Structure 1
Amino acid sequence: MLETYRQTIRYEGVLGLYKGFGTVVMGTIPARAVYLGTLEATKSVVLKVTMKMGVPEATSAGLSNGIAGLVASTLTQTVIVPVDVVSQRLMVQDGRGMTHYRNGIHAFREIFRKDGLRGLYRGFGMSILTYGPSSGVWWGSYGMTQRKIWRMLQHDCGHPLCSAGAVEHPPQRLVVTVQAASGLCAGAVSAVVTTPLDVVKTRFQVLENKEGGKPSIAATVRTLMREDGWRGFYRGIIPRWASTSLWGTVMITSYEFLKRLSRKPDMDDQSQGSPSPIKMGKTHW
């Protein structure tokens, strides 16, 4: 990781670290809108169904978070895969035999001209297999980890922040701390489970069609195995864990903060007399 960072700085400067940045930003806005909207709607439905079925609170939380993450991520791939393909082509375009693109729009047009929609959606199936489970695992692990932490704090009455009353209406700094810790744990679990799929997907997406035929996922896996062995499937796991954990932590704390700001006053008044979020099967986020 550090060697790659140094080589990029040496040969391409700081701007080399941000290849494809504009394309990613433009695609992220609609993608996140689809993701978060689908996530909340699905989570609410699944939680109600599982609670009515008598599923234990912790299990219900894990299922609702996991299923919601899986569904939201799957739908989001329709927006994010073309962005991924274009941005990744921009990142590796200085390699030998690679087409040179002036910018993201030029890359989009060239890929569409040569390969059509199939070119823009190359790796779509792999993306679903990668990010669907990744999102499901992340949200499921996050929800379960957060509940474990809150339950530990609820029973640790020796600390002033962990009294029963404090946990039912916890200080903001404690909520953010628990969210951050849960996000780090969820990122680690997600990275271990899905890094091999992400490595194969990324390699497959950056390949250009050759005269000998179109690249395939099976051929990509065989090449990776031949060149690097099993270790190759976990290449970049540390950056992926860091990225997943940091993104998840920043996203969830920011999103929940905005949700609290937009909450109606009458809802806040009602929540003052409501039971603990732990007892009601709701998360703090």
Structure 2
Amino acid sequence: MESREIPRPKIPSLDPTEINWDKLDKTKLYVVGAGLFSGVTVALYPVSVIKTRMQVATGDAVQKNAFAAFRNILKADGIPGLYRGFGTVITGAVPARIIFLTTLEKTKVASFELVKPLKLSEPVQAAIANGIAGLTASLFSQAVFVPIDVVSQKLMVQGYSGHANYNGGLDVARKILGAQGIRGFYRGFGLSVMTYSPSSAVWWASYGSSQRIIWSLLGHGNESKSLPSSGQIVSVQAAGGIFAGAIASCITTPIDTIKTRLQVMPVNNQKRLRARQVVKRLIEEDGWKGFYRGLGPRFFSMSAWGTSMIVSYEYLKRLCSKTDEI
């Protein structure tokens, strides 16, 4: 009698929480997702402003901690000061996220297929596939994201620590174009790629593997036939987001500090510094700890954004699934 191998049930992190790209209503995903992620951006944007101010501060403007920077922004500009450059970011974020999410999901599926023959453990497979997907998605979205980042960061620090004032995002864009041409919008592009692409790879790799490890610790491993509750699913996703944000922020903050300083230089500065000179100046001003200026806000931002984003995104995928059986 011929024996047949009975397939083992999948880890619940793949079913029901994992929904493949081909099962999603793309139009609904993009439209609903734009509104959902815009809401998250509104909530967390002030943290980005505080982080940027801390990274570019020089001399007496250097803040000892994020709370001091927050208090000074409120004192000088009120609540609007926490949303400098927000209009520019929210406008450019929609196409950037469409590119990112599309590339992420399609690459993730392909990457899982590539690592299957290696017979690795599921957490390792998830780390590799998610890491490749996060890296690729970030690389593709940088073409849109970097110009938005350059303009918005100039607005974030305008009038602060010697930086120029502008009349909105269009004024910044016009002055950059007039002084430096198109390449002015890609100031720090290499460092941006070096910051966000590895950060995205580390974040998604950490998230993918930590999720499966947590499920295993909770008893929902390959041999488990029980399904997690919706509360457990959200909790595991949130925990994975916090863990991923902590790792990614610690690894990439030094590069992010250098990139930010390069991007906020005056557009008419005839002696624009190179990355090596920025590094030297940071060391002279504050020693090696200067590279970790804004680490607290960056850690909070990446963890809070990552957790909010991933929980919202997983919910969004369920909401936009073409099938009722998830």
For normalisation by structure 2, the TM-score amounts to 0.76
Task: Note the C-alpha offset of 1:212.
Answer: 5.0
Q: Aligned-pair distance for 1:54?
A: 2.7
After superposition, residues 117-132 of structure 1 pair within 5 angstroms as 117-132=182-197
Aligned to 2:312: 254
C-alpha distance 29-155 of structure 1, shift in aligned 2 (>3 A): closer
Distance 1:57 1:187 in 2: 21
Partners of 2:208 and 2:241 in 1: CA distance: 9
Instruction: Give 1:64-213 correspondences, 5 Å limit.
Output: 64-95=129-160, 98-154=163-219, 164-166=224-226, 169-208=227-266, 212-213=270-271
Q: CA deviation at 1:96?
A: 6.1
Output the CA distance in 2 between the equivalents of 1:114 and 1:139: 38
RMSD: 1.8
Whichever residue aligns with residue 176 of structure 2, its letter is I
**Residue identity opposite 1:233 in structure 2:** F
Distance 2:256 2:323 in 1: 44
What residue identity is the alignment partner of 2:87? G
Cα distance, 1:110–1:153 mapped onto 2, change above 3 Å = same
Structure with more of its chain in helix, by fraction: 1
Is the aligned partner of 1:232 residue 2:264? no
What is the CA distance between 1:93 and its match in structure 2?
1.6
Q: How does 1:20-31 map to 2 (within 5 A)?
A: 20-31=85-96
**Shift in alpha-carbon separation, 1:192–1:211, aligned structure 2, 3 A:** closer
Structure 1, unaligned runs of 5 or more: 157-162, 272-285
1:62-102: CA deviations, max 9, x gaps?
A: 10001110111111111011111101111112036543210
Q: CA deviation at 1:117?
A: 1.2
Identity of aligned residues (%): 47
Aligned to 2:117: 52
Per the normalisation by structure 1, the TM-score is 0.87
The 1-side partners of 2:175 and 2:295 are apart by 32
1:124-171 residue CA offsets vs partner (Å, 9 max, x unmatched): 000000000000000111111111100001179xxxxxx9343xx211
Tell me the distance in 1 between the aligned counterparts of 2:118 and 2:192. Answer: 33
- Residue 211 of structure 1 deviates from its aligned partner by 5.7
Distance (whole Å) between structure 1 residues aligned to residue 294 and residue 147 of structure 2: 22
In structure 1, what residue type is equivalent to 2:272? K
Indicate if the aligned counterparts of 2:175 and 2:267 stay in contact, CA closer than 8 A: no
Mapped partners of 2:99, 2:117: distance in 1: 28
Residues 6, 96 of structure 1: CA spacing in aligned structure 2 closer, same or farther, 3 A cutoff?
A: closer
* Aligned-residue offset at 1:35: 0.6
Task: Indicate conservation of the 8 Å contact 2:84/2:155, yes or no.
Answer: yes
Distance in 2, Cα, partners of 1:118 & 1:178? 42
1:209–1:215 contact (8 Å) kept in structure 2: no
What amino acid is the match of 2:207?
A: Y
Question: Conserved in 1, the CA contact under 8 Å of 2:179 and 2:267?
Answer: no
Secondary structure of the corresponding residue to residue 111 of structure 2? helix
**8 Å contact kept, 1:195–1:240:** yes
Counterpart position of 1:10: 75
SS in 1 for 2:273: coil
Relative to 1, partners in 2 of residues 1:99 and 1:155: Cα closer, same or farther, differing over 3 Å? closer
Letter aligned with residue 145 of structure 1: S
The alpha-carbon deviation at position 103 of structure 1 amounts to 0.6
Q: Which amino acid aligns with 2:138?
A: S
Gaps of 5+ in 2: 1-65
Counterpart of 1:244? 302
